Structure 1
Amino acid sequence: MNKIRFTIILFVFSTFFSCSGDRLFEDFKSIETGSWDVSDSISFELNELDLENRTTLIAVRFNENYSFSNCYIRVIGMDSLNKVIENTLINVPLFDSKSGKPLGKGFGNTYTRYDTIPFLLNTETKKVSFVQYMRQNKLDGIEAIGIKILK
């Protein structure tokens, strides 16, 4: 009985303390078809956030049906008039190139990989869009794209 009680208490404390208080904003947009089309841009509105000197991460939720080891993504930062103020191509590794094991955290056959966006958002940035840049019309195995802004 003491082992069960101890296990429950340990589980509750680990759940409580594992919650991350380091994020200012986090959101995901699902790709309902499970295939990211080259013409689909995924956008996030950041109007009310204080973005000065914040670290920004992109999140790619993928499964084992994804057939490449990485994903090239164009990151576009825009102001309130949709004028492009940043436009950068990033390479997000999703699988280890030697072992073929998925990078990131997950369970089952779905994983989420976070990677740093190489430019800092600023007070002018009101919207961030992501476009896949893999020279494929459809990227099977991409389930969602997200953004996380740290405090």
Structure 2
Amino acid sequence: MSNKLVEKASKIVKHAMLLAIALYCLSCDSNAIYKSYVDLKDTNWYVKNVPTFTFEVKDETVPYNIYLLVRNASQYPYNNLYVTRYIYGTDGKILSNRLEEVMLFDQKTGKPLGDGLGDIYDHKVISSRNFMFPTKGKYTIKLKQYMRQDPLPYIMSMGVSVEKPLPPKQ
């Protein structure tokens, strides 16, 4: 087999695994009002690349949990990832911004955290708990990488999930 054919087969397998992981993750969150990923070109996250997510809030009386979703390769060179998360209101003004630290690997052992398949890992990290959107309407969340490396390698995709909290178990 030629090297090009092997490389192409490897890419197809990786894409199939990513699709399977994404479908599995999407099927698990029945309480999510919005969930989306943005794939990063060549698994490099440039500072100028700011994934943007726009969604609609139909019930402003309910608190929502906002999660950051990170998909990375095991070759990612750091234990953590710093991300600045911005929430824009229906008027386009910033409602909230905060610097988040997402732990991708155990600091002592180097073992990958999150759910993995092969050398790809998915992380779902709470960003805001019980966030109250002030009105019904369209909101936007933007994510900006805040690391000292540009581009940041082996970050495959970034996403957000906005969810109604599950009722307490009785």
- For the aligned pair, the TM-score class normalised by the smaller chain equals 0.7 to 0.9
Determine which of 35, 46, 52 is the counterpart of 1:26. 35
- Shift in CA distance, 134/27, structure 1 to aligned 2, threshold 3 Å: same
Q: 1:67-146 maps to which residues of 2 (within 5 A)? A: 67-118=77-128, 120-124=131-135, 126-146=139-159
Alignment-derived partner of residue 57 in structure 1? 67
- Shift in CA distance, 21/41, structure 1 to aligned 2, threshold 3 Å: same
Unpaired segments ≥5 residues, structure 2: 1-23, 165-170
Question: Hey, what's the Cα distance between the residues in 1 that align with 2:109 and 2:82?
Answer: 20
State whether residues 56 and 121 of structure 1, in contact with CA within 8 Å, keep that contact through their aligned partners in structure 2: no
Shift of 1:39: 1.3
Larger mean Cα displacement after TM superposition, 70-79 or 43-52: 43-52
Query: Once the two structures are superposed, what CA deviation does each residue of 1:90-137 show, in whole Å capped at 9, x if it has no partner?
Result: 100000001101100020100001111136251457100000001211
Question: Hey, what's the Cα distance between the residues in 2 that align with 1:45 and 1:26?
Answer: 10
The amino acid of 2:34's aligned partner reads F
The amino acid of 1:22's aligned partner reads N
Decide which structure has greater helix share.
2
TM-score of the superposed pair, with normalisation by structure 1 = 0.81
Question: Hey, what's the Cα distance between the residues in 2 that align with 1:82 and 1:133?
Answer: 22
The amino acid of 2:133's aligned partner reads N
Asked if 1:45 corresponds to 2:54, the answer is yes
State whether residues 26 and 146 of structure 1, in contact with CA within 8 Å, keep that contact through their aligned partners in structure 2: yes
Question: Hey, what's the Cα distance between the residues in 2 that align with 1:88 and 1:99?
Answer: 28
The amino acid of 1:56's aligned partner reads I
Question: Hey, what's the Cα distance between the residues in 2 that align with 1:96 and 1:140?
Answer: 19
What is the identity percentage for the equivalent residue pairs of Structure 1 and Structure 2?
Answer: 27
Question: Hey, what's the Cα distance between the residues in 2 that align with 1:23 and 1:61?
Answer: 18
State whether residues 40 and 157 of structure 2, in contact with CA within 8 Å, keep that contact through their aligned partners in structure 1: yes
Query: Once the two structures are superposed, what CA deviation does each residue of 1:30-77 show, in whole Å capped at 9, x if it has no partner?
Result: 112210001111110013544641111101000012100000000001
Q: How many residues align?
A: 135
TM-score of the superposed pair, with normalisation by structure 2 = 0.72
